[in-house]
Amino acid sequence: MFAIDFPPVSHVINWPDLFFDDTLFAVNKVVVLMWISAAVSIGFVLLAGRNAKLVPSPLQSIGESFYDFIQNGIILQTMGPEGLGYTPFLGSLFSFILVCNIWGIMPSIQMPVNARIALPAFLAIMVWVVFVVVGVVKQGPLKYLKNTGFPPGVPKALYILVTPIELVSTFIVRPLSMSVRLFANMLAGHLLLVSFATICAALFSLSITLVILPFSFGLLAALTGFEILVAFLQAFIFTILAAVYIGSSMHPEH
C-alpha cells in the first residue's frame, strides 16, 4: 500500500503575495502572469505587423492568419460586415485569453490565469459594458430596452413572463455565464493536471514503476494535449459570445 499526498485546492490556486503584501494592490504570481500575457499579446501584434512586406515573413504570415481567423471565423459569422470595426477589440480579447490559458501547461508555471475568477469576471463585465453601450448608441436607450425586453413575435399576454426573463438573461446571466464558464473550465483542467502529475510523481517510488508509469505518464501527456485544446476553445467561445452579444446590440430583432 502507498499513500499519495494531494495538495489542497488552496495550495493549487492561491499564491503568496510578491509585492505589497496583504493590501488592495498586492501582486502575486497570477497578477505577474496576467501582465506578461498582456505584454505577449501586444508584442505579437506589433511584431507581426512591423515592416509588412508583399512576401510575408513567417511571423507576418502567422499574424495575417490570425487576423483572417478573427474576421472570417468570428466576426463575419456573427456580426456581419458592420462588425469588422471590432476586429482589434475581439482579436485582443482572444489572444489575451489564449495566452492566459496556456500558462496552465507551461512547465514550472502551470497556472492558468483564468483559473481565478477575478480576471474572467472583469473580462465579462468589460464585454457587458461594450454591448450595452453599443445597444444604447445604435438604438437609443428606450428602444434598446424595448427591443431587449419585448422580443417580436411573442403574444402580448406572455410578455408578463418573457420580459423579466429576457432582461435578466441579457443584463445579468450573460456576463455571469461568460465568466463562470471560462473560470470553471480552466480550473477543472488545472486541477486534473495537478492530480495526475501528483500520481506520476508518486509512482516513481514504487517497485512496479516500469509497469505503471508509462501508462500514467501517457495519460498525463494526453490530458496536457487536451488542455491545450480546451485553452483554445475557451478563448474562442468567450470571443465568439462577445461578438454575438455585440452583434445583437447592433442588429435588433425585427
Mean pLDDT of 165-183: 94
Sign of CA dihedral 151, 156, 158, 163: positive
107-130 pLDDT per residue, tens: 777 788 998 888 999 999 999 999
Of residues 197, 245, 252, 244, the one with CA closest to residue 220: 197
What SS3 state is found at 167?
helix
Confidence of residue 54 (pLDDT cuts 50, 70, 90): confident
Cα end-to-end span (Å), the chain:
67
Mean pLDDT of 27-38: 89
Q: Rounded distance, CA 58 to CA 55, Å?
A: 10
Amino acid 156: pLDDT: 85
Q: Rounded distance, CA 166 to CA 118, Å?
A: 26
* The three grid cell numbers given for residue 35, joined into one nine-digit string: 501582465
Q: Which of 57-61, 119-123, 156-160, 221-225 has the lowest mean pLDDT?
A: 221-225
**Which residues are 27's β-sheet partners?**
19
Mean pLDDT of 201-230: 70
DSSP per residue over 172-199, as a string?
A: IIHHHHHHHHHHHHHHHHHHHHHHHHHH
Mean pLDDT of 9-16: 62
What SS3 state is found at 126?
helix
Say what the pTM is. Answer: 0.85
- CB of 119 within 8 A of CB of 97? no
What SS3 state is found at 19?
strand
Confidence of residue 210 (pLDDT cuts 50, 70, 90): low
Amino acid 202: pLDDT: 66
- Between the alpha carbon of residue 132 and those of residues 65, 68, 141, 220, the distances in Å are 30, 27, 9, 43
Amino acid 89: pLDDT: 95
